Amino acid sequence: MDKAQIWGEAVIEHPSGTNASLFAANQSDVCTSVYSLLFILFFLLTFKHIRHSLVTIVHCCFRFSQSMKTQDNLSLEQGRIVLFIFSLFHFSMAAFFFVYVFRVDLYHIYHWFLVPLFFLIFSLIYLSRWVVLVFIGWVIKYPKELTFIAKGSRDYLILATIFTLPFSLFTLFSWSSAVTSLTIWCFFVIALCYLLFLFRTLQHFLYARFSVFFWILYLCSLEIAPLALLYSVLITI
């Protein structure tokens, strides 16, 4: 008697040869199509509710006085949170495009879980930074000042999303021909927004009358060290 019949195992025949390639391509197309539709739907739903917050957030990124005035604005905070969640989803999709084209091995391993995995990783990175900053602020008795830095990082991520979103939407319809350009553009915009964010932290440290030494200490412990760790992890993948 056949072993599969003894143990009641279901035998699934997978296509082979040319059919296997077509089967894999169809599975990939379904996955990418579903996530693309979700991305467009999320964009339309969030844009309806937060379009009025966009201009204010952009002003906050370039005007320190504006960011100080609006940091306790609850209605703007709601728009920030929605935009921040969309930004995390946006860059999760950008990372998904990159893996889909350049790291087929990882794509076949994680497949449908890629976007949720990237979203989870990006969320944990932000939450861990938030917890550390709140803890340090509580220890040195300046919780509001360091919480402001955590909130400010969201604004610059939103700013990076604004400048990369049109390219991402274009990539949904062009795929591999535009993913390389999208990746380069995302790295460039994120690096530029990150430098603007670091300059904002310096402004805030000086405004709060902290020593520049503490700003350098902050850079080494919460900016440079995590980036070095992230780089070491990425090169081993």
Which one-letter DSSP state was computed for residue 48? Answer: H
Provide the mean pLDDT of the chain. 77
- Please write the tens of the pLDDT for every residue from 73-127: 777 788 888 889 989 988 888 888 888 777 777 777 777 788 888 899 889 888 8
Kindly report which listed range (4-8, 69-73, 121-125, 147-151) carries the lowest average pLDDT score: 4-8
- Please write the tens of the pLDDT for every residue from 152-193: 889 999 999 889 888 877 776 665 566 777 788 888 999 999
Residue 146 in 3-state DSSP?
helix
Q: Give CA separation, 228 vs 25, 153, 187, 223, 224, in Å.
A: 36, 18, 16, 9, 6
Which one-letter DSSP state was computed for residue 220? Answer: I
The helices-and-strands tally (H runs, E runs) of the chain is 10, 0
Q: Do 117 and 103 contact (CB within 8 A), yes or no?
A: no
Polymer length in residues for the chain: 237
pLDDT of residue 14: 42
For the cut 70, the answer to whether the pLDDT of residue 71 exceeds it is yes
The CA-based angle 229-112-83, given to 5 degrees, is 65
Q: Which of 2-6, 76-80, 117-121, 138-142 has the highest mean pLDDT?
A: 117-121
